[in-house]
Amino acid sequence: MRFALLVCCCLLVSKPAGRAEAGFRVASFSTVLSEVAERVGGEHVTVAALVKPGIDPHEYQPTPGDLAQASDARLILISGKGLENYLDKIEQVTGGKVEVLAVGDQLPSLTLRPGDQTGSAGAPALDPHWWNSVPNMIRAAGVVADGFARLDPAHAADYERNASAYRADLSALDKELRRKITQLPRDRRILVTSHDAFQYFAATYGFTIASIEGVSTETEPSNKHVSELIEEIKRRGVKAIFLESTLNPKVSREITRETGATIGGTLYADGLGEADAATYAGMMRHNVDTIVDGLK
């Protein structure tokens, strides 16, 4: 009798809290995907947003608590395209029993510019910052809806309906951003940022980009690269360069002193932030408004 009672108590204690919640649990390692999951999942999904706003995803490493929440989920969402360098830790703690959906891997890819990081065997690596293009977010909503429907087919129609509503909001946002960008003459659409995070943005909205650092924020720019960038800024008459919310502005400020360009403002390159950038639409509006105002 005592043994049976002890077993029952252990089961009650060890039962994950998430099992008592409606729907199923999703662990998200991306601020933008946390929003997608909440909008698409609605009442059927509980989202554990493990990467918080303002955290640099290039440097983030999951805590034991984050990994515990991931192991308690039925689905793990990651950005993909090589951004997360801790997938082995997730695999180890989950034993491969929790599906990992790399959303970005199902979206169109851009490779890094020459001189940035390379992939295996010297092949060009993929740029992981796909969310800086609204059309990519529209596609991502469909990828997440399909993933949810696969795990919970009983609510597939709800997921598709929620995704359609979210896609409509994103389509309206995309049109709004394009209207704002038309205020900026094409010869001024040169975007100089702290690191190489805006290729998808540039390809979608008609900008040329130059960056101080490569795609990762973990390495410092070389003196040669900075010197070449200074000369390019002078030659092209770039009016402003832009800081990023998660990066040290030291090198950017040094470049402005050498070139006469101003600091155009701070952008959110690697995910959601605080205040007006706490939602995806808010982040994109902030970035476009800052860029247009800085380069006019």
- Which residues of the chain does CATH 3.40.50.1980 include? 17-109+125-171, 176-295
As a whole number of Å, the CA-based R_g of the chain is 21
Residue 2, pLDDT score: 38
User: What pLDDT shows up at residue 248?
Assistant: 58
Average of per-residue pLDDT across 82-89: 95
Four-residue CA torsion sign, 209, 33, 142, 40: negative
Dihedral over alpha carbons 88, 92, 94, 99 (to 10 degrees): 30
Q: Measured between alpha carbons, how far is residue 212 from residues 6, 8, 75, 114, 253 in Å?
A: 61, 59, 36, 14, 11
CATH architecture of 17-109+125-171: 3-Layer(aba) Sandwich (3.40)
- For residue 180, the model assigns a pLDDT of 98
Q: State mean pLDDT over 154-182.
A: 99
What is the average pLDDT score of the chain?
Answer: 86
Each residue of 26-60: pLDDT tens digit?
999 999 999 999 999 999 999 999 999 989 999 99
DSSP state of 208: E
101-126 pLDDT, tens digit per residue, is 999 999 999 987 655 554 444 456 88
- Per residue in 257-266, pLDDT (tens digit) is 888 899 999 9
177 band by pLDDT with thresholds 50, 70 and 90: very high
CA-to-CA distance for 205 and 58, rounded, in angstroms? 25
Is 176-295 CATH 3.90.1150.10?
no
pLDDT band at 233 (very low <50, low <70, confident <90, very high): confident
Residue 171 pLDDT > 90: yes
State the DSSP code for 237. T
Q: Give the pairing type, strands 99-102 and 262-267.
A: unpaired
